[in-house]
Structure 1
Amino acid sequence: MSDVPIRHSRKMRKTMLALNRAKTLGQRLSLIGSIRMAHLTPELPAVAEFSTAETMGHSADRLAAAFGVTRLEQDEFALRSHTLAKQAQDAGLLSDVISFKVPGRDTVAKDNGIRPSSMEQLAKLKPAFIKPHGTVTAANSSFLTDGASAVLIMSEEKALAMGYKPKAYLRDFVFVSQDPKDQLLLGPAYGTPKVLARAGLTMDDIDVFEFHEAFAGQIMANLKALDSDWFAQTYMGRKAKVGAPAMEKFNLWGGSLSLGHPFGATGCRLVTTVAHRLLKEGGQYGLVAACAAGGQGHAMVIEAYPQ
């Protein structure tokens, strides 16, 4: 984030609010005289969950531990994401990325966070959140980045009347929410079975999967939850699991771990990637799923438009 809001300290905010309420010159002068240099220290905004005051990284670390996701599994998935993103970029598959001129800098023509590495290099990184024994690192976490996105959604009738050629149908979608303390990042595990049921589909019917990669540990935990009868019965009230996505269909052009996670823009990227992959791979159905702050999540089924 290149232009983040810098907040005043709590003491400075309290003084400014009191100044706003002051009725006399004497009261204002007294309050101004109480300001100290320390009050001017900026307070950086934290990427933390409002309901628990815990960063998502801490939640991801605890979630990975709860589902028995190892550091090795997380690093392997992170390396996979960067490797696939590099392959997709080199093949010209990420063509929906629009060049943008940053004032005073070179034109940004492509995603520049893709960094294929090696397992040896990833293993050298220390835990980023729970120290010293955590498993979430900077390399197996999505990185904050600038970005924007847009998707045009309208009825098929309207699109054709305006001369547009649709890329895909939005067939079904669900929003879910769960306990933000222990299940903050499990939106895909809760949303996927629900949206499949609404659409009358199974995992085998889905040709393309695109899940938001907030953290490698979060992804692996969701995949394990989807493949667990115990989770389905205990938390979903289902008789059986829906199963985990086949990895040969899953995030094949990289994901948030390698492309970055610009808040508010990632959802559109997931949807457009599914639409483009369905066209490229000749599939019929795609499934998008993501976790979100507040213990929320969503899942949607995208269907390819007949060409």
Structure 2
Amino acid sequence: MTEIVILEGRRTPFVRAHGRFKKFSNLELATHSVKALVKDSGIDPEKLGALIYGHVVLDPRVPHLAREVVLQSGLPASIRAVSLNDNCISALSAAEYGVWMLQNTDREYAIIGGVESMSNPALMFSDSARRIFLNANFARSTGERIKTFLKLRPRHFAPKAPGVKEPSTGKSMGEHCEDMVKEWHIGREAQDEIAFNSHQNAAYATQRGPLKDEIAALDGLDHDDTIRADTTLAKLAKLRPAFDKSGSGTITAGSSSPLTDGAASTLIATREAAERDGFTPLAVIKDMEFAGILPEEGLLMAPALTVPRLLKRQNLTLEDIDIFEIHEAFAGQVLCNIKAWEEGWKEPAIGKVDREKLNIYGGSIALGHPFAATGARIMTTLSHELKRSGKRYGLISICGAGATAGAFLLENPNAGGKKEA
């Protein structure tokens, strides 16, 4: 199959919801990211064949977000635009579709990514209020319309915020993760350590420079405002459980990813076209795997299937991976899946994770988690680090609501000593 490479990525700063970016819509954040990527990568817009973009918190006023991003960014109107929603793995699914397009059509370049404005969710009315408004809209006369509106009561004007519970179980993601850490015997201390390292690594990377190089400043901000460089294990230990308050809960706000606004975009291409046009690839998308399980088995445990299957197909173990990028929905979720990989669960054990190689520039707990954007953020950071370090293999693992997951294996195109599957 045609090799697909990653050329560049750009994102907005990631900002806590209801904060500095609350004035920006999904469309504005995404457009900013895409325009910066096109400008900084040097790609000729006329060469772009597709833009595939994810968004989870949908804005009904812009249902086909990707198409509007193409138009608002000033890109050629002929570009194929695809909008999708696959929860937290949306950007990985966008990349999957992008890889398919580049391998099976005459397109040579594509932008993939995702965006979330958690500050601006669409608010809904109750079913009874919605029915009254709809009936009034379709009334045949002014009198009939007034008669319909007279049925409204004060309670009908109370908006409903988007739900945070799993439709299939009625439990929130945090509640599901509490079940997981209890089943896998993951303690509070271990979770706080993951959170502490996330903030420390992210603060280091921001001050040192690697993360800032990938960020397109917006509204005068050139860094993520979710990082707590001054946090300590002692401070984290003082936080109260956020989801299970019975006395046995261990997950806190400190060991959970925050609600975040932001967008991230990544430029991918066929290797042949990239090298023909003078681009130096950052990484090759070597392989990918997606999976889904029953939520009752562990809502965020699908990475326990994707990573072993991916590595087995490539004849690799965890010891062969040079850099791990594991999405930190919760610290407990990271630890549960690492334990599953190392001990085996539904799939055979695949080795050990070297913690020194884990989220070396911070993860979603520190950097934030605009749902659909996280995959593109990780893909960009990992690609740059493979090139910068000269290391060979980078692994991406992201869990998703609905008990799904995606995993990608990236390879440094200039690393020697290839191990063939």
TM-score, normalised via structure 2 length = 0.67
Q: Which position in structure 1 is the counterpart of 2:245? A: 131
User: Once the two structures are superposed, what CA deviation does each residue of 1:252-306 show, in whole Å capped at 9, x if it has no partner?
Assistant: 1110000000111100111112112212222111111110121110111100122
Listed as ranges, the matches of 1:214-293 within 5 Å are 214-229=329-344, 231=345, 235-236=346-347, 240-293=348-401
Q: Which position in structure 1 is the counterpart of 2:99? A: none
Note if contact 2:319-2:352 (Cα within 8 Å) is conserved in structure 1: no
Listed as ranges, the matches of 1:74-89 within 5 Å are 74-89=191-206
Q: Which position in structure 2 is the counterpart of 1:190? A: 305
Question: Aligned-pair distance for 1:77?
Answer: 1.1
Note if contact 1:59-1:182 (Cα within 8 Å) is conserved in structure 2: no
Q: Which position in structure 2 is the counterpart of 1:141? A: 256
User: Once the two structures are superposed, what CA deviation does each residue of 1:176-205 show, in whole Å capped at 9, x if it has no partner?
Assistant: 111123321113211110111222222221
TM-score, normalised via structure 1 length = 0.91
Listed as ranges, the matches of 1:154-173 within 5 Å are 154-173=269-288
User: Once the two structures are superposed, what CA deviation does each residue of 1:66-112 show, in whole Å capped at 9, x if it has no partner?
Assistant: 1111111111111111111111111112134323333xxxx111011
Question: Aligned-pair distance for 1:25?
Answer: 5.2
Q: Which position in structure 2 is the counterpart of 1:120? A: 234
SS of residue in 2 equivalent to 1:265: helix
Question: Aligned-pair distance for 1:22?
Answer: 4.5
SS of residue in 1 equivalent to 2:278: coil
Q: Give the letter aligned to residue 126 of structure 1.
A: R
Q: Which position in structure 2 is the counterpart of 1:205? A: 320
Q: Cα distance 1:51–1:7, how it changes in 2: closer, same or farther (>3 A)?
A: same
Distance 1:169 1:97 in 2: 18
Distance 1:100 1:48 in 2: 33
Q: Which position in structure 2 is the counterpart of 1:296? A: 404
Question: Aligned-pair distance for 1:24?
Answer: 5.6
Note if contact 1:199-1:301 (Cα within 8 Å) is conserved in structure 2: no
Distance 2:236 2:390 in 1: 35
Distance 1:40 1:276 in 2: 49
SS of residue in 2 equivalent to 1:125: coil
Q: Within the alignment, does 1:109 sit opposite 2:109 as a pair?
A: no
SS of residue in 1 equivalent to 2:195: helix
Q: Give the letter aligned to residue 123 of structure 1.
A: A
Q: Give the letter aligned to residue 342 of structure 2.
A: D
**Percent identity at matched positions?**
40
Q: Which moved more, 1:149-158 or 1:12-21?
A: 12-21
Q: Which has the higher strand share?
A: 2
Question: Aligned-pair distance for 1:147?
Answer: 1.0
SS of residue in 1 equivalent to 2:240: coil
Note if contact 1:180-1:294 (Cα within 8 Å) is conserved in structure 2: yes
Distance 1:166 1:62 in 2: 42
Note if contact 2:178-2:243 (Cα within 8 Å) is conserved in structure 1: yes
User: Equivalent of 1:9, from 126, 129, 136?
Assistant: 126
Question: Aligned-pair distance for 1:19?
Answer: 3.0
SS of residue in 1 equivalent to 2:264: coil
User: Once the two structures are superposed, what CA deviation does each residue of 1:126-169 show, in whole Å capped at 9, x if it has no partner?
Assistant: 11112133111111000111111111111110111222111110
Q: Give the letter aligned to residue 175 of structure 1.
A: F
SS of residue in 2 equivalent to 1:227: helix
Q: Give the letter aligned to residue 226 of structure 2.
A: G
Q: Give the letter aligned to residue 277 of structure 1.
A: E
Distance 2:212 2:252 in 1: 30
Note if contact 1:9-1:42 (Cα within 8 Å) is conserved in structure 2: yes
Structure 2: gaps (5+ residues): 1-117, 416-421
Note if contact 1:140-1:215 (Cα within 8 Å) is conserved in structure 2: yes
Q: CA RMSD in A?
A: 1.7
Distance 1:181 1:7 in 2: 29
SS of residue in 1 equivalent to 2:395: strand
User: Equivalent of 2:177, from 44, 47, 60?
Assistant: 60
Distance 1:27 1:244 in 2: 70
Note if contact 2:212-2:222 (Cα within 8 Å) is conserved in structure 1: no
Q: Which position in structure 1 is the counterpart of 2:293? A: 178
Equivalenced residues, count: 296
